[in-house]
Amino acid sequence: MLPPEDAAQPPRFLSDISDFSHGSDLSIVPGGEHRCDSVRAGLAALGPECEIVLVHDGARPFVQRGVIDAVIRLARRGEGAIAAVPVNDTLKEAAAAHPDRVERTVARERLWRAQTPQGFPRGVLERAHETAPRDANATDDAAMVERIGVPVRLVPDSIRNMKITTPDDLALAELLARKAP
């Protein structure tokens, strides 16, 4: 999944790793305006033989193979599964009328930070997307699957599976990449 302008002319590194003329398994699909639009486009591009779908943020380059395998195992059992990390910070909720004021401290004992990959039986993910209101812009696919009543399991992951979205994230990722075995 790439931005439409990049899908029309894929970056050179993708051309180097895939030979489209010889039936590569890699397909480039233009993404949409929102995450759910991109996932729908990806689902529509899948061949009929695909039974399990993993959704993964390209902004998370450090996912470990064991986490991917665990997510796939659970999805093959008919459940949703997401990589996640238990919350270990103290969480504060801001007051609605005064966003710089603490309203309360939120208990963290049962809270997890959702990550990717997120895996689902294909039919479950398709049904979740078909039944979601068009204005429901879920921040992850697990939330959509939860809405249709399908269990979603947590797969313990590492904080190294970070999402790179800010300059600070990029600086940390560069450090991790240098230290990677």
- Alpha carbon distances (Å) from 138 to 82, 125, 132: 15, 13, 9
139-170 per-position pLDDT tens digit: 899 999 999 999 999 999 999 999 999 999 99
CA separation for the pair 49, 47 (Å, rounded):
5
Chain-wide mean pLDDT for the chain? 88
Rg over alpha carbons for the chain, rounded to the nearest Å, is 18
Task: Tell whether the model's pLDDT for residue 118 goes beyond 70.
Answer: yes
> Which are the contacts of 141, defined by CB distance < 8 A and separation ≥ 6?
36, 39, 55, 80, 118, 120, 125, 128
Cis before 117? omega within 30: yes
CA separation for the pair 29, 7 (Å, rounded):
6
Give backbone dihedrals phi and psi of 143, rounded to 5 degrees, phi first: -60, -40
47-78 per-position pLDDT tens digit: 899 999 999 988 999 999 999 999 999 999 99
**Is the full-model pTM beyond 0.75?**
yes
Lowest mean pLDDT: which of 22-36, 92-106, 128-142, 148-162?
Answer: 22-36
Pairing of strands 80-86, 152-156: parallel
Give backbone dihedrals phi and psi of 152, rounded to 5 degrees, phi first: -125, 125
What pLDDT, on a 0 to 100 scale, did the predictor assign at position 136? Answer: 63
Structure tokens at 54: 């993993």
CA separation for the pair 121, 75 (Å, rounded):
5
CA separation for the pair 112, 99 (Å, rounded):
23
Contact assessment for residue 115 and residue 155, using Cβ atoms and an 8 Å cutoff: no
Contact assessment for residue 80 and residue 67, using Cβ atoms and an 8 Å cutoff: no
Lowest mean pLDDT: which of 22-36, 93-107, 122-136?
Answer: 22-36
What pLDDT, on a 0 to 100 scale, did the predictor assign at position 27? Answer: 76
